[in-house]
Structure 1
Amino acid sequence: MLGRIRTVADPAGGRRRVRREEIDRVRAMPGFPESLRDRVKTVGTADGAALMDITPARFTRLARAGVLTPVKWYVNRYRAVVWLYLEEELRQFTASADSTVLLTGRAPEGLRTRLEEGTDLRARNWRSRHAGFLLRQSEDPWERAAAGASLLDPVQLSEVVRDPYERAYLNRLKPEPLTQAAPESPTSRIVERIVTADDPNEISWLRANVILTLEEARRLRPAPRPGRPPISASPRPHPALDPVPWPTAHVAGAAPGQWVHETLPPEGRMPEPDEDGRREEPRGLFKWLRRRRT
């Protein structure tokens, strides 16, 4: 999820894959594999603060104010969110001369004001970073639209994408869920809160992104729809001895919204022979009636 290794979508809809050429490229990197490990190594608040030679409290304030952007997170067994940061980025931030005042001096007034108001930009900054990663993962406009849609709540998505078939297609293309917790569980609710956009500016950007990407996707190909032109056939009556109507079932080839009843052949009529001249063996009630006649 860090974008260090290029992946491609699985045609069968499974997990993303890494091409052989990309594996060879990564292996050819100077210092592999230690260099790759260093680039993807993450640290938490305590280790990050020690790396930057500041207190954990100052580190947390910088992260809440949006100065430091988390790259990953997880919910621990106490249902607390643990934020993780790229060690490489923290080192670069510490080495920058522009960061000295934030690490050692008094925080700027604007930053202090935001913190006093209770601002916490960690989740929003993670979503922004995660959205960028998802958008870089694919060139397919439908998958790119699904990436933005995955960060909108269902109400916002239904306002932007009114076609139910398009919404269903986007939901099918959404990235894998970030938790395996049961729906409506406390952990699942925490995850949903973090991955769902809640800032008005963030929501507006995501909505605009989905709208623009969908326009491109529609020009490329329409969303899958269940069925082709409706089947024109006169309905046949249900057997007289069957008191319960047969359940309706959607038939492949029927147009959207078209439902047909599957019924048994009328009484007294044998099934039509198949291609090799054999007749289908009667089943159920008709098999029993045929035995009575013989």
Structure 2
Amino acid sequence: MSGNTVTRAHSAFCASSRAARELELKRSEFDLAVHLGRIRTVPDEGGGGRRVARAEIDRLRSDPRFPESLRAGVLAVGTSEGAAVMGVPPARFTRLARLGLVVPVRFYLNRYRAVVWLYLAEELEQFATDGTNAFLLSGRTPEVLRSQLAAGVDLRARNWRGRHLGFLHRQTDDPWQRAGLLAGFLDPLKVAEIVEDPYERAHLNRFRPGPPAHATPGTPAAHLVEKIMTADDPDEIDWLTYDLVRTLDEARAEQPAPRPHPKPGPEPAPGSAAQKVTQPASAPPAGPPDPPGEPTRPTRGLLNWLRHRSG
């Protein structure tokens, strides 16, 4: 009976790979849907990543427009496609993105190591159909926005970082993990200033988020991904620093960072004072001292004591 219970418990949840197949999504689409909160997941108690409840899969599949509705919600498009969705030229779309008016949801590096930003088609359509944004889609760009563009403003990376951090935060309630996520978006030297204890820094490193784009470590592509991951705006750095300090206080109060146990001392040398033990209670008492003037001989003293006792 216990075996049936275990089987039912395991069948109530699916691994991410199987859930993606049952929801008819590519793995990248599934991951994005999880990040967006479109698919609810739970942590695997065995440490095998996150899982999806069978009830959640059934809920999504019960939609009359499944799987089209689910796919439409995670459709990510680049600049050309995004411009077509909004009905604007690609150059205008890029300006809107640099100004932070549309926020990227993902990015990747192409073969030329150029950053390709991706946006949710659903959000772009909503932006274009909102009447209050009509003046941004045609005509002359307002002067205040043109001056920002002329000054070199580009909020795409910063906005992506904020969004990605929000995705990751939703996956954990543990303060040490949240602190590690925050530290992952700051320069390591800045983290060392904030977290002086090397054991705490080592513990935080366990929870640093991995790079969202694949690149061989040590390559120019990897350095570019790392640059995108790292906050560079003073306001953003200040905000992350404040949040990291506050979250660290919570983590320390809940549970200190693990530290190595003290190493045991060396074994005492044979015959040292540390190895001497008291005489057992069952051992015979020592004999009386030899008479004055006679040489000290342990054997003679013991014989004298025995004679004295027998007499």
- Measured against the shorter chain, the TM-score band is 0.7 to 0.9
Please point out which of 214, 219, 222 is paired with 2:256. Answer: 222
Mark the runs of 5 or more structure 2 residues left unpaired by the alignment. 1-34, 271-311
How many residue pairs were aligned?
A: 236
The residue that corresponds to 1:234 in the other structure is: 267
Task: In structure 1, give the amino acid aligned to 2:232.
Answer: D
Residues 269-294 of structure 1 deviation map (CA, whole Å, 9 limit, x = unaligned):
xxxxxxxxxxxxxxxxxxxxxxxxxx
| 2:184 equivalent to 1:150 | yes
The correspondence of residues 49-88 of structure 1 with structure 2, limited to 5 A, is 49-88=83-122
TM-score with structure 2 length normalisation?
A: 0.71
Residues 91-146 of structure 1 deviation map (CA, whole Å, 9 limit, x = unaligned):
00001011100001221222111100111110001001111111112111111111
Judged with a 3 Å threshold, the aligned counterparts in structure 2 of structure 1 residues 20 and 117 are, in CA distance, closer, same or farther, namely same
Measure the CA separation in 1 of the matches of 2:136 and 2:268. Answer: 77
| 2:192 equivalent to 1:164 | no
Which segment is superposed worse, 132-141 or 96-105? 132-141
The residue that corresponds to 1:192 in the other structure is: 226
Measure the CA separation in 2 of the matches of 1:108 and 1:177. Answer: 36
Task: In structure 2, give the amino acid aligned to 1:231.
Answer: P
The residue that corresponds to 1:241 in the other structure is: none
Judged with a 3 Å threshold, the aligned counterparts in structure 2 of structure 1 residues 112 and 232 are, in CA distance, closer, same or farther, namely same
Larger radius of gyration: 2
Q: Does the 8 Å contact 1:146/1:174 carry over to 2?
A: yes
Residues 44-88 of structure 1 deviation map (CA, whole Å, 9 limit, x = unaligned):
000111111110000001101111100000001111000000000
Which segment is superposed worse, 185-194 or 25-34? 25-34
Q: Does the 8 Å contact 1:9/1:15 carry over to 2?
A: yes
TM-score with structure 1 length normalisation?
A: 0.75
Judged with a 3 Å threshold, the aligned counterparts in structure 2 of structure 1 residues 236 and 120 are, in CA distance, closer, same or farther, namely farther
Q: Does the 8 Å contact 1:54/1:103 carry over to 2?
A: yes
- Distance apart, 1:180 and its partner CA: 4.0
Q: Does the 8 Å contact 1:2/1:71 carry over to 2?
A: no
Measure the CA separation in 2 of the matches of 1:62 and 1:8. Answer: 36
Measure the CA separation in 1 of the matches of 2:164 and 2:223. Answer: 19
Q: Does the 8 Å contact 1:6/1:137 carry over to 2?
A: no
Measure the CA separation in 1 of the matches of 2:230 and 2:71. Answer: 30
The residue that corresponds to 1:278 in the other structure is: none
Measure the CA separation in 2 of the matches of 1:236 and 1:28. Answer: 75
- Using the aligned pairs only, state the percent identity: 58
The correspondence of residues 79-228 of structure 1 with structure 2, limited to 5 A, is 79-227=113-261
Measure the CA separation in 1 of the matches of 2:95 and 2:269. Answer: 73
Measure the CA separation in 2 of the matches of 1:176 and 1:9. Answer: 18
Mark the runs of 5 or more structure 1 residues left unpaired by the alignment. 238-294
Q: Does the 8 Å contact 1:8/1:138 carry over to 2?
A: no
**SS of structure 2 residue aligned to 1:223:** coil
Judged with a 3 Å threshold, the aligned counterparts in structure 2 of structure 1 residues 125 and 205 are, in CA distance, closer, same or farther, namely same
- Distance apart, 1:177 and its partner CA: 2.6
